[in-house]
Structure 1
C-alpha cells in the first residue's frame, strides 16, 4: 500500500518520540500539518511548529525542506477549505477492512476461456477491491466513489508472477468486458471505478495486515501454508511446518530464547559451585 492508513498512530509516535519515519518522511509531515491546523494554527504558525519539531534532527534540515513543507501546508489547507468541520483535518485510523461474501463470489467466478479458474485475474480483482474500499474509507467527506488508480501498486499488492505483470492492460480490459470495472474515457486519466462493490455488511474476510492483503484471499480459497503470526497476528506464508512467527517476531523470539537459555545456564552454574 502506498497510502497512509493509520495517521493517528503515526502522529502519536511522532509527538511522543519526536521521531520521523525514515521510509516515508512526508507521511509524518502530513499528519503533523493536519494536527497543527486542527489545533487552530494558521499557515505561518504551522510552518514555525514544523521548524521547532525539526530542530536538532540531523537527518532532516528545515532550511532544505522549507520549500517542500510550504507546498504541503498550502495543499492540505486548500484541500480542506470547503470540508465540513466534522471532517476537517480528521486523521485516518484504519486498522481493519472487511470484505463481504458476495464480492468474493464475483471474484471467484472469474475463469479462463477454457473454463478453468483464472487465479491471477482473481488476485488482481481482489487487490482492486481492497484498494477501492480503502480509498472510500480515506475520503474526507465519506462519499463512496469506488475508485482506484495506482495500477502498479495494485499489481504489487496482488503478488502476481512476473509473466502475468505484462498482462496488466489485458486484465483491465477483461474486467471491463465482464462489467466489473469502468475505465476512464480520457487517455490522460488513470482513475478506474470498481463496479462490484456492494453495501453488504457481512464480514467474510477481515484484513488487518495490509502489507499482505492478498494472502487473506488465498487462505480463504483454501491455500495451505498461510498462517497468522502467534505474536503480532501478521499473515505470512509458512516456510517450515513448525513456523509460528513472522520474520520480525521470529528474531525477537530467538533472542528471548537465547536470553532464557543464558539465564538458565547461569543458575545451573551457580548451583554446581
Structure 2
C-alpha cells in the first residue's frame, strides 16, 4: 500500500493510543484522529494529525482505520450501527481493532465487514505505555491472512513482536492467554517485593538478583521498580485489567476450564477498584497488602 495514498484513521487517543498514533505520524502517514473531546487529541494535532468529529466521517475519509478504545461496548458502538465504521467505510478499507475485546465480537465484526467488502482484523497488544512509547508492542493478530500481510507494514511502526494467530477472534483469544499469565504473575511479583521489604532487604538489590534468573518476567523488570518507588500511575489501568480478566473468565467457562489463579487475581483487583484504585496502574496491586 503506497504511503502517499494511505490515510490512516485512529480512534482512541488514551495512554497507549496516543503514542501509537504518533509513531504513524512520524513515519510520514496522513493520520486522521477522532476522540470524544478534541482536547484529548491536541498533542497529535500539534504533530500534524487532522481531527475528525465522528467515526462516521473518519470512515468515509480513511482507507485504514485503527481503534484503540476501552471496552467491548465501545468497540461495538464504533463499528456497528448506522453511524459505525462498517456501515460508512468504503469497500476494501482495512479496519484494525487493537482494543482488548471479546473473541465473539471480533468474529461478528469480521463477518459484517466481509459483507461490505471490508477487511477486519483483531490485533490486541501487550506492552503497556512503555511498549507503546518505544514502538515495541507485542501484537497478536486474527483475521484473513491476506489482510494481515497487507497491513503488516503499518503494524511494524507500532510493534516489534507481531504474530499472526489465525482466523478472526484468534488475536483476542491470544490476548486472553497473555492476560491470564500476567494476572497470577502480578500477584507473585507483589508478594516477592513485599516479602523482601519485610525481611529488611534492599528491594532494588533483590531485583538485581531475581530479574535475570528463573523468576524473571516483564512485570518484574518494568513494574516492580515502579512499586518500590511508589509510582502507581497507569501504564495500563486496573479498571481495564478487570475488564480483560472478566472476558478471559467468561471464555474459559465456555470451554469448561477452571482458572483459579485468574479468579483470585480478579477478586484482589476488584477490592482495590472498590477502594478507588480503578484509575491506577496494574502495579498498584502492591497496595493490596497495605489494606
Give 1 or 2: higher helix fraction. Answer: 2
Quick one: higher RCO (CA 8 Å, sep 6+), 1 or 2?
A: 1
The answer to whether TM tops 0.5 is no
Task: Say which structure is richer in strand.
Answer: 2
Per the normalisation by structure 1, the TM-score is 0.29
